[in-house]
Amino acid sequence: PKRTKIKDLLNATEFGQQVTVMGWVKTFRNNQFIAINDGSGINNIQAVVDFNNTDESLLKRITTGAAVSVTGELVESLGKGQRVEIKVQDLEILGDSDPEKFPLQPKKHSLEFLREIAHLRFRTNTFNAVFKVRHALAFAVHKFFNDQGFVYMHTPVITGSDAEGAGEMFRVSTIDFDNIPRNDDGTVNYKEDFFGKPTNLTVSGQLEGELAAMAFGDIYTFGPTFRAENSNTTRHLAEFWMIEPEMAFYDLDDNMDLAEKLLKYVIKYALDNCSDEIEFLSSRLVEEEKQKPQNERSELNLIDKLKFCLENDFERLTYTEAIDILKSSKPNQKKQFKYLIDDWGADLQSEHERYLVEKHFKKPVILTNYPAEIKAFYMRQNEPDEHGRKTVRAMDILFPGIGEIVGGSQREERLEKLEQRMHEMHVPAEELSWYLDTRRFGSAPHAGFGLGFERLVLFVTGMTNIRDVIPFPRTPKNAEF
């Protein structure tokens, strides 16, 4: 169809030409002014109807939500808040929308309400902005890696191993629950299942990514991952997207440098390319902050917060250093933490991460060299320290308001060390023989990390619930759309 995107018309400087726009009616005022949005941007175009010369029956069908095609002259607008408008010559209703039934009214709806109608929330300004930013961030991720010669590797969604231990897995099976095939001893006969063995949805593409990195040098994955953790928080999804680069010949410092560079690049890309959307989200946030008591309001606005992140080096310190800071911190000494830090070795809770990022350093933080006990089997082992404590070359990046946004490590490339650790952690080596082959044939130092895409989108959009930055959220007891 010959139509012009509204976003392009709003910037037009030539008046008098005839244009056609197609979009959805946001509001219709005084039987005269239609605000139309076609999704190309947040801003609507105003189309002015000559109601004296238009059928009453047609006017009645111009309702919020209806799809319309409007042709007319592009003229300078005399109204406030817009430069241009369309003087309607021809108006066609492409799809009616019953105003009694359409759930979106021309007013501000709560995010909770919009979550209930996730299939329609794309039509709101907020979600238009959020998903435009999401798109831009995804594009920027690919651009960043492509420009540096990384290969985008597609790793499987269905996996035959369940050994990474990153989280609870979703079983993939064609077995009929009402008629489960059994062996003589009563156990499930998986030979009858589609793949002839138990399979799961992937929790991470890392292990397969390592295989590819040992051939291509630099690769990344960007795909959906699944975790059946029953954690109903504003930071967890059962289905989320993860970016996992894996680089041969990288050590932990190289790994941190790349992660910091990636984060800064994509944030800057969004600022440069989604300024309208981010400005809109920023003002949305200001309104939201006004609802809160004075002492809970955040000091920085969204744009300043993003710029601050670009302009400052992330703070890098070891887990051990972080524990020392936390131990002697006010909330720990006054017993205000729910989980008090009294010893080396405990995993950090989100309250501790938030303290380090938001109160102590007041900027993004990279924590390294965690206790081996609390990290995955594939992380490279350090020599025990002077107290005999064992650590691994892990790194977690913590962001203000988000907590952990990146988790990664240098990998254990020494076969014997890796096998020994797998044994200690009861990771079945036979099942992962294909993985261990990388260490058998031309093993090399390498490192990688996983960036949670929705947590990144949360940070850049200033949204506060992860369900609001993925189009169709999957959370416990919720897979409706």
- For ligand 4AD, the binding residues (CB under 6 A) are 166, 204, 206, 227, 229, 236-237, 240, 242, 244, 404-408, 448-450, 452, 454-455
Q: Which residue is nearest to ligand 4AD (CB)?
A: 452
DSSP structure string for 417-454? HHHHHHHHTT--TTTTHHHHHHHHSS---EEEEEEEHH
Dihedral angle sign, alpha carbons of residues 96, 100, 102, 106? positive
User: Which residues on neighbouring strands pair with residue 34, listed in sequence order?
Assistant: 28, 47
Nearer to ligand 4AD, 227 or 305 (CB): 227
Binding-residue total with Mg ion (CB under 5 A): 1
Nearer to Mg ion, 223 or 407 (CB): 407
Nearer to ligand 4AD, 267 or 406 (CB): 406
DSSP letter at 81 equals T
Q: Where are the alpha helices (DSSP H) in 235-317?
A: 252-273, 275-290, 302-311
Query: In this structure, what are the phi and psi dihedrals at residue 227, rounded to the nearest 5 degrees?
Result: -140, 125
Q: Which does 371 bind (CB under 5 to 8 A by kind): Mg ion, ligand 4AD, none?
A: none
Map tokens 């890796």 to a residue.
418
Nearer to ligand 4AD, 70 or 219 (CB): 219
Q: Which does 236 bind (CB under 5 to 8 A by kind): Mg ion, ligand 4AD, none?
A: ligand 4AD
Nearer to ligand 4AD, 315 or 404 (CB): 404
Least distance to ligand 4AD from the beta carbon of 398, Å?
9
**Token digits for 231?**
């954690």
**Token digits for 248?**
């041969």
HSE on the CB side for 193, CA within 13 Å? 19
Least distance to ligand 4AD from the beta carbon of 402, Å?
8
Nearer to Mg ion, 59 or 317 (CB): 317
E-only strand ranges, 192-269: 199-201, 218-226, 239-248
Q: Which does 121 bind (CB under 5 to 8 A by kind): Mg ion, ligand 4AD, none?
A: none
Query: In this structure, what are the phi and psi dihedrals at residue 346, rounded to the nearest 5 degrees?
Result: -75, 150
Least distance to Mg ion from the beta carbon of 404, Å?
6
Nearer to ligand 4AD, 36 or 460 (CB): 460
Q: Is 286 helix (H, G, I), strand (E, B) or coil?
A: helix
Alpha carbon distance 474, 165 (integer Å): 21
Least distance to Mg ion from the beta carbon of 375, Å?
9
Nearer to ligand 4AD, 28 or 370 (CB): 370
Residue 452 binding Mg ion, by CB under 5 A = no
Q: How far is CA 103 from CA 35, 48, 167, in A?
A: 18, 25, 38
Strands 84-95 and 45-48: parallel
Least distance to ligand 4AD from the beta carbon of 449, Å?
5
Nearer to ligand 4AD, 46 or 202 (CB): 202
DSSP letter at 346 equals P
Q: How long is the chain?
A: 481
Q: Which residue is nearest to Mg ion (CB)?
A: 407
**Token digits for 436?**
């261990």
Nearer to Mg ion, 400 or 407 (CB): 407
| Segment interacting with Mg ion (CB under 5 A) among 25-33, 140-148, 405-413, 431-439 | 405-413
Least distance to ligand 4AD from the beta carbon of 130, Å?
16
Residue 408 binding Mg ion, by CB under 5 A = no
Q: Is 135 helix (H, G, I), strand (E, B) or coil?
A: helix
| Burial (CB count <10 Å: 0-12, 13-18, 19+), residue 384 | exposed
Least distance to ligand 4AD from the beta carbon of 411, Å?
9
Strands 151-152 and 218-226: parallel
Alpha carbon distance 472, 357 (integer Å): 30
| Segment interacting with Mg ion (CB under 5 A) among 90-98, 204-212, 406-414, 456-464 | 406-414
Alpha carbon distance 176, 446 (integer Å): 43
Q: Which does 37 bind (CB under 5 to 8 A by kind): ligand 4AD, Mg ion, none?
A: none
Residue 407 binding Mg ion, by CB under 5 A = yes
Alpha carbon distance 309, 312 (integer Å): 6
Nearer to ligand 4AD, 72 or 407 (CB): 407
Least distance to ligand 4AD from the beta carbon of 390, Å?
19
Alpha carbon distance 314, 356 (integer Å): 12
Q: Which does 239 bind (CB under 5 to 8 A by kind): Mg ion, ligand 4AD, none?
A: none
Alpha carbon distance 265, 271 (integer Å): 10
Q: Which does 206 bind (CB under 5 to 8 A by kind): ligand 4AD, Mg ion, none?
A: ligand 4AD
| Segment interacting with Mg ion (CB under 5 A) among 80-88, 192-200, 400-408, 412-420 | 400-408
Least distance to ligand 4AD from the beta carbon of 250, Å?
12
Binding site residues, Mg ion, CB under 5 A: 407
